[in-house]
Amino acid sequence: MGLHIIKMPDIGEGIAEVELVEWHVKAGDAVSEDQILADVMTDKATVQVPSPVNGKVLALGGKVGEVMAVGSELIRLEVEGGNAVETPAAEKPKGANAAPSSAPPTAVVPTDTKPQETRQQHATQHEAYVSAGADAGAAEQKAASSSAARLSIVPPVPGAAVAARPDGGRPLASPAVRRRAWELGIDLQAVRGSGPAGRISHADLDACLSREPSPSATAPRAAAYERRDDEKEVPVIGLRRRIAEKMQESKRHIPHFTYVEELDVTELETLRTRMNAQWGEARGKLTLLPFLARAMVLALREFPQINARYDDEAGIVTRYGPVHMGIAAQTDAGLMVPVLRHAEALDLWALGREVARLAQAARDGSATREELTGSTITLTSLGPLGGIVSTPVINYPEVAIVGVNRIIEKPVVIQGAIAIRKTMNLSSSFDHRVVDGMHAAEFIQNLRAYMECPALLFVE
């Protein structure tokens, strides 16, 4: 018998370390080639590491929640043969003609993939070699070859038969699906997966819920005033840790200045309703966000210092011509900010379609790494839960974030008469090191002018 050491693979983008999110095996387990060993996370992207060989697990190289360096020992396997072998960290492919590696690399399998036709529709995006860590129904991929390590996308085969997992085998599911199943109290062993190799998706969990009686209907109800002394420690790992680190980084570096203004959106809502009635079926329904995104694009032309990033270590503010707008989206896994690229080049309907697509991609886990990085300013909205006022946290190292509060109807005095109007607050935060309070106020007042007189949105 021999020893096979698998090292933490390099998943590219210049990343030096990753977080170990979940082990799929334990010491003593027999593993087969291509079997998933572990889930690791970097920046908001979760990937799965498969085994390049058949063998038996001797030792695990880290604990769940531990941050591990690329190239460090991930796992030790006992394999057939008498020589010790190391599987090196996979190198990021440098092109189609990359030279083959001298040793079989450990491939990195994205937890989710996007269909080939979707990638062709978005030619400006890089190949989606990393996904956001929820189930999108992608096939497990063949990994570990003698050629250079590559992070490949294998689109699902239309009409392919669903392969059931072996009896007693570990259910195949992404971290997001496992987390949701745990929260719902669903045993994944009892769920039949509809994906390739019996992979379980969110839809399979929904189907399982529809077949099972509600826990509230069968479980005895706790006493209304029953005393409780229990407590539970929840490790902050994975995406939740990334969110915590990002928020802490922002508040530690940026002196936030928050400015709140009330907008009368009665005319805008009337226009939006008419546009949806006339063109909604053909072009898609418009929400408020495309109008606000367009207003931000126009306002940023006069305030370019707000569409910027501040490198406080280098002492340099970079102002951007293109508006790459982050759209904060709440998902089952946590807060994500997919990026609407080149918002300045899109009309209202294109903005609406892209906002909807990105939000859905964040929720179902199909957003690529490129779609989750590179924003120059952020727009955040909680919809009907938006409240009256909020104090949004800037997406560091950006210098501004615009927050949308909910629309309410209230009496307003107009030329001495009382009228019922639809109003909404904008709660926006700015980096006071780079944006003066007066300029922040002028920017929001400019936004207000566009939103209260929506005809201006169509005038160049």
Report helix, strand or coil for 410: strand
- Active-site annotation holds for 432: yes
Catalytic residue among 187, 311, 347, 436: 436
- Active-site annotation holds for 135: no
Tokens of 339: 């990026």
The enclosing H or E element of 422 equals strand 417-431
How many H-runs (helices) and E-runs (strands) does the chain carry?
Answer: 9, 20
Report helix, strand or coil for 437: helix
Ranges of beta strands (E only) in 208-270 are 256-264
Dihedral sign computed on CA atoms, order 46, 50, 52, 56: positive
Residue written as tokens 């490790």? 235
Pairwise CA distance, residues 444 & 426, whole Å: 8
Beta bridge partners of residue 23, listed in sequence order: 38
Select from 87, 65, 89 the least CA-distant residue to 76: 87
Omega before residue 397 within 30° of 0, cis: yes
Beta bridge partners of residue 146, listed in sequence order: none
Show the CA angle centred on residue 194, arms to residues 193 and 198, nearest 5°.
50
Angle in degrees, 0-180, between the axes of helices 437-452 and 266-283, rounded to the nearest 10: 60
DSSP calls for 109-165: EES----HHHHHH-TTSPP--SB-SS---PPP-----SS-------PPPTTPPPPPP
Dihedral sign computed on CA atoms, order 19, 21, 24, 29: positive
Do 338 and 369 touch, CB atoms closer than 8 A? no
Catalytic residue among 24, 256, 342, 432: 432
Tokens of 241: 């840790």
Catalytic annotation, residues = 432, 436
